[in-house]
Amino acid sequence: MQVFDNFLNLNLANQIENDLTNQYFPFYLTPKVNKNNENLKFSTVNKEEIHSLKNKNEINGFQLVHVAYVDIKEHKHKSPYFTQLVKIIDTLQFKTKIAIKPIKLKCNLKPQCLEATSDSFDYVHQDEDEKHYSAIYYPHDTDGDTFFFDSNYRIIDRIPPKKNRLVFFKSNILHAAGFPTKNQVRIIINIVMKGL
C-alpha cells in the first residue's frame, strides 16, 4: 500500500473538489449496502464470509454514487466527467511507473449516519482480485477513515481522508469506508485498474 499526499497539482485538485462538492454534480442513490453483498457487482468477497462477520463497528450504510467510467464485460459507460478524472490515473501511472488500464472509476458520497462513531465502518469488501489495483482519492478534507483489514478481518491500517491524498493498493486487500461524524459528507473517488 502506498499513500501519496499532494497527489495532483493544486489547480486540478481544487477543480475536482469544486466539481464534486457543487450542488449540481450528479450523484445517484445506490441500493442499500448489505451484508449479503447484493447489488455490488464489482466485489469478489465471499457472501458467507461477509454474512458471518459481525463486528460491533460495522454498520449497514448507503451512499450516493456517480459512475464516471466502467468497462467490465458487457457493462460500458463513460460520463462527461471522466475526461477530467482520468488525470488521476495518468498521474498515478507517472508516480508509480506501473502500466494500468481503468476498469471502473466512481465517485462516492457517504452522508453522516446517526449511529456511527469515528470507529464505525461500512461493509468490508475487496474491489477485485490480486491481478488488479485500486486507488482511493480524497478530493476534500473530511472525516471517515478508510479501514484496511487482514484475512482474519482485523484492522491493520486506517487512512484518514485529506484533500489531495491518494491511497494505492492491490484490489484484493479487504477494506471498508468509515462514516463522517464531524462533517456532513465524505466524498472519495474509487478507481479499479488492471495491470498491463
The predicted structure's pLDDT at residue 46: 47
Q: pLDDT, tens digit, for every residue of 24-81? A: 999 999 865 443 444 444 444 444 444 445 567 888 788 999 999 999 877 889 999 9
Alpha helix positions (H), the chain = 10-20, 47-52, 82-96
**Pairing label, strands 165-170, 64-72:** unpaired
The predicted structure's pLDDT at residue 31: 67
The predicted structure's pLDDT at residue 147: 97
Share above pLDDT 70 across residues of the chain, in percent, rounded to a whole number: 87
Q: pLDDT, tens digit, for every residue of 26-37? A: 999 986 544 344
Fold for the domain defined by 2-195? Jelly Rolls (2.60.120)
The predicted structure's pLDDT at residue 51: 44
First to last CA, the chain: 19
Question: Given phi > 0 = left and psi -120 to 50 = alpha, else beta, which region is 17?
Answer: alpha
Sequence spans of domains, the chain: 2-195
Cα separation of 182 and 185, whole Å?
Answer: 9
The predicted structure's pLDDT at residue 32: 53
User: Which residue from 123, 129, 133, 142 is spatially nearest to 180, judged by alpha carbons?
Assistant: 142
The predicted structure's pLDDT at residue 178: 96
Q: What are the Cα distances from residue 39, in Å, to 3, 133, 170, 188, 191? A: 29, 22, 22, 20, 18
- pTM to 2 decimal places: 0.88
Chain centroid to CA 53: how far?
21
The DSSP secondary-structure symbol of 145 reads P
The predicted structure's pLDDT at residue 36: 41
The predicted structure's pLDDT at residue 127: 92
The predicted structure's pLDDT at residue 15: 97
Q: What are the Cα distances from residue 60, in Å, to 51, 106, 115, 176? A: 12, 20, 10, 11
Cell of 155: 484492522
Q: pLDDT, tens digit, for every residue of 101-133? A: 999 999 999 999 988 999 999 988 999 988 899
Residue in this structure with the C-alpha cell 484496511, named with its chain if needed: 148
Whether the CB-CB separation of 183 and 97 falls below 8 Å is answered with no
